[in-house]
Amino acid sequence: MKWLSIATVTAGLAGSAAAQAESVPYTDAETGIAFQSYPSADGVEFRVALPATIEAGKPYDVILQVEAPKSLGWIGWAWAGQMTYNPLTIIWANGDQVMHSSRMAFGYSSPTAYPDATYQILKGTGVKGDTLKFTALCKGCSSWTDFTGEPFTVDASQEARFAYAFSANPVAAPADNGTTFTIHDGVGHWYHDLPGAKSASFADWVAKNTVGANGTAPGMNGTAVLSATRPRGAPFRFMERVRRDLGVDARNRA
Ligand code: HEM
């Protein structure tokens, strides 16, 4: 009897480990990019494609795609699966344009501009009917300086825990990617299959889906307007904030 219950528990644990990744393969017809896609219960899909070869601990580029109802006020993607001290990709529709803003939160309050993640807009970005789609090459979404001041890289050899948040309330100034916005109506966490997102076609996909010489095309907002650009070599304001905030444990893993 005792043996049976241990076996049952063991089988259960093995099953849950194998079923951990919640993303599924998805090929976007518009770009031909084969993503691992997480269809959230809130109607927003979060997709990742990666280069075939990623050296452990080294920064790497990602192609991300978010597809969502355009009626949402904003949608956020948190690259370490938590609100604070990780790059946040924020997206919303401004009429027929898809806006994006790179942010970081240093507490449970409005996130500020984060210039160390940059986005090159790709084809597959725009508003069609009731849906917005954002597709971009991100440099700086997979690695950053963590809460303790150490370099951190998302481990692409296994599933990664990401998080999202969204609000039905529009941002304060939809045409301005430095805009403020109010707290989310919902948040969620998921495990993304990163090994399954790797492909030797990565560079080809970027080349084929690069839009216009200046990175813009109708229906897209490809300009990285950031209000807190940090000149290279200038004192690292991020670390100043970390020290200032050290009294607050922001490593909430809820
Ligand atoms: C004005 C903007 C925002 C405010 C005021 C805000 C505030 C908060 C607060 C107070 C909590 C804690 C809730 C609790 O523990 O009961 C929380 C949690 C959370 N927020 Fe935000 N938030 C904002 C924007 C964002 C954005 C843009 C994201 C991007 C994904 C985000 C992601 C999360 C997540 C994932 C959690 C769950 C706890 C965690 O994993 O850290 N938030 N937020």
- Among protein residues, the one with the nearest Cα to ligand 1's atom 39 is 82
Is the pLDDT confidence value at 180 over 90? yes
Binning pLDDT at 50, 70 and 90, where does residue 71 land?
Answer: very high
Ligand 1 atom with the smallest distance to the CA of 180 is 1
Mean pLDDT across the stretch 49-66?
Answer: 97
Alpha-carbon span 129 to 59, nearest angstrom: 36
Q: Is residue 78 part of a domain?
A: yes
Q: Which domain holds residue 114?
A: 21-214+221-244
Alpha-carbon span 203 to 51, nearest angstrom: 7
Q: Is residue 161 part of a domain?
A: yes
Is the pLDDT confidence value at 228 over 50? no
Binning pLDDT at 50, 70 and 90, where does residue 248 land?
Answer: very low
CATH code of 225's domain: 2.60.40.1210
Is the pLDDT confidence value at 215 over 80? no
Pocket probe mutation, ligand 1, options 108, 147, 166, max atoms within 8 Å of Cβ = 108
Q: Is residue 6 part of a domain?
A: no
Pocket probe mutation, ligand 1, options 44, 46, 83, 251, max atoms within 8 Å of Cβ = 83
Q: Total structural domains in the chain?
A: 1
Find the helix or strand (DSSP H, E) in which 206 lies. Answer: helix 202-209
Alpha-carbon span 179 to 113, nearest angstrom: 10
Give per-residue pLDDT as tens, 3-24: 333 333 333 333 334 448 999 9
Which residues form ligand 1's pocket by a CB distance below 6 Å?
Answer: 76, 78, 82-84, 88, 90, 108-111, 163-165, 181-184, 187, 252, 254
Q: Is residue 10 part of a domain?
A: no
Closest Cα partner for 250 from 90, 131, 85, 124?
85
- Residue-wise over 139-160: b if at least 16 C-beta within 10 A, else e? bbbbbbbebeeeebbbebeebb
Q: Is residue 65 part of a domain?
A: yes
Q: Is residue 3 part of a domain?
A: no
Six token digits for residue 137 = 């090459």
Six token digits for residue 148 = 């303790």
Mean pLDDT across the stretch 94-115?
Answer: 97
Q: Is residue 9 part of a domain?
A: no
Q: Is residue 12 part of a domain?
A: no
> What pLDDT, on the 0 to 100 scale, is given for residue 76?
98
Mean pLDDT across the stretch 231-244?
Answer: 37
